[in-house]
Amino acid sequence: MTVAIFLGSLLIAMAIGIPIAYSLLLSGIALMWHLDLFDAQILAQNVINGADSFPLLAVPFFMLAGEIMNVGGLSKRIVKLALAVVGHVPGGLGYVAIMAAVILAAVSGSAVADAAALASLLLPMMVAAGHDKARSAGLIASAGIIAPVIPPSIGFVIFGVAANVSISKLFLAGIVPGVLLGIALAITWWWLVRSEKVAPPARASRAEVLKALRESVWALGLPVIILVGLRMGVFTPTEAAVVAAVYALFVAMVVYRELSFRQLADIFQAAARTSAVVMFLVAAAMVSAWLITVADLPSKIIGMLEPFMDNQTLLLIAIMLLVMIVGTAMDMTPTILILTPVLMPVVKAAGIDPVYFGVLFIINNAIGLITPPVGTVLNVVAGVGRISMSDVTRGVMPFMLAQFVVMFLLVAFPSIVMVPLRWLGG
């Protein structure tokens, strides 16, 4: 009955068009009434405590860094470098999109920002070269969702806070799976375009490659600083976000000189608006998380999943299928905030490593950003690329399936995640 009241009130509120943050608050209030615990002071206290978190400060700073990168020329130079290195091979512009997405992912941590940058810079070039527009848009959308997997990842920050798991370990554990997602896209793109008669751009000369490398070296320095700093313990993930924002601001204004003081207000406002949405979601979700604990919902979920508890692989497959279904109707952040307090006790009871589960969970949620009908990244690419949602959906399908294959490969072989983590984490 408790589970039905929580889920029923949440789904009904969302179905009638109430924003997700308010739906979470309403479901929390409904659960409080059911448990005879309603107290406005407790409600307000949990909302305040939900946003009062030092690790969550990483979210606005990483978002600010992403905004600065796109406006300040860092993203553009990363794309130019990828174009100079792999643009000349058959289907080269697709590999450029994948390579640029992986590099951008190691800088911004935002799927929406990366997909928007790639769609505006590369989609017109791919269409002009003769590639199918829907397929190209699908590739760019699926490449953009690598950002929540490769550090620095806003998704890992939110999950780490909600699950009380080391964000630094999540960052390091996401590197290899993120690269594997990129490789899966490259193989799928090669298979799809092998019969196309599209002439690739001319091969860049050695001088042009060196020039592109020189121009992008400042942008490439950011992921190196973040990863080395985290690996050596120089700063925490939250401090890394501040370093990323300050470094991106310095490079954009002083080195590349593409960002003026006049543009700063708009950039800060854009980052603040996006951060406010995420932070309010987190604050509202903490009410539900507290009530989920009080109502002992995890033990009821464990009881429901009892047949799978003795087999970690089957349990993970069941959980991943559940998250896949939820991901078709809900955005990444609310999915993390709603499901994490419910699933983590199940994961711990089954003896599954929380960091390993976190990587799988975030990959699944990232793919949810390109699953119709809600897929946020699909909408962004459709808007920026001026292409219909149905065409983007058709184009993204083979790439989305390839990424799901990678996810279930990680479910079957946990060592793909855990062995590199032990090596990188020392």
Residue 43 lies in a domain: no
Residue 61 included in any domain: yes
Structure tokens at 83: 């174009």
| Backbone angles phi and psi of 147, in degrees to 5 | -55, -40
Q: What is the pLDDT of residues 2-30, one digit of tens each?
A: 667 777 777 787 778 777 778 778 877 77
Residue 307 DSSP symbol: G
Is there a single domain that holds both residue 301 and residue 407? yes
Question: What is the token pair recorded at 56?
Answer: 């969550």
pLDDT of residue 299: 67
Q: If we measure between CA atoms, which residue out of 153, 366, 162, 163 comes closest to residue 284?
A: 162
Residues 267 and 411 in one domain: yes
Cβ-proximal residues to 389 (8 Å cutoff; 6+ apart), any chain: 372, 378, 379, 382
Q: Do 32 and 107 lie in a common domain?
A: no
**What was the pLDDT predicted at 213?**
87
In whole angstroms, how large is the CA radius of gyration of the chain? 21
Tell whether 44 is covered by a domain. no
Enclosing domain of residue 110: 54-424
Write the DSSP symbol of residue 306: G
Q: Same domain for 24 and 79?
A: no
Burial of 246 (0-12, 13-18, 19+ CB in 10 A): middle
Pair 7, 69 in one domain: no
pLDDT, position 401: 95
145 and 34 share one domain: no
Which ranges of the chain have pLDDT less than 50? Answer: none
Does residue 190 share a domain with residue 144? yes
244 assigned to some structural domain: yes
Q: How many domains does the chain have?
A: 2
Whether residue 48 is contained in a domain is answered as no
- Asked if residue 12 belongs to a domain, the reply is yes
Residues 261 and 377 both lie in one domain: yes
Residues 201, 304 within the same domain: yes
The pLDDT of residue 374 is 67
Q: Are residues 109 and 25 in the same domain?
A: no
Q: Is position 367 within any domain?
A: yes
Among residues 159, 119, 155, the alpha carbon closest in space to that of 138 is found at 119
Cα distance between residue 358 and residue 362, in whole Å: 6
How many helices and strands (H and E) does the chain possess? 21, 0
- Confirm whether 324 is domain-assigned: yes
Please report the pLDDT score of residue 293 as a whole number. Answer: 67
**What one-letter code names the amino acid at 133?**
K
The 3 state secondary structure assigned to 72-135 is: HCHHHHHHHHHHHHHCCCCCHHHHHHHHHHHHHHCCCCCHHHHHHHHHHHHHHHHHHHCCCHHH
Distance of CA 202 to the CA centre of its chain: 34
In terms of Cα–Cα distance, which of 129, 136, 137, 139 is closest to 87? 129
Residues 361, 259 within the same domain: yes
Check the CA dihedral 348-351-356-357 and report its sign. Answer: negative
Residues 75 and 69: beta-carbon distance below 8 Å = yes
Distance of CA 350 to the CA centre of its chain: 26
Judge if 173 and 24 occupy the same domain: no
Cα angle 225, 227, 231 (rounded to 5 degrees) comes to 115
User: Using N-to-C axis directions, what is the helix angle for 261-294 and 40-51, rounded to 10°?
Assistant: 130
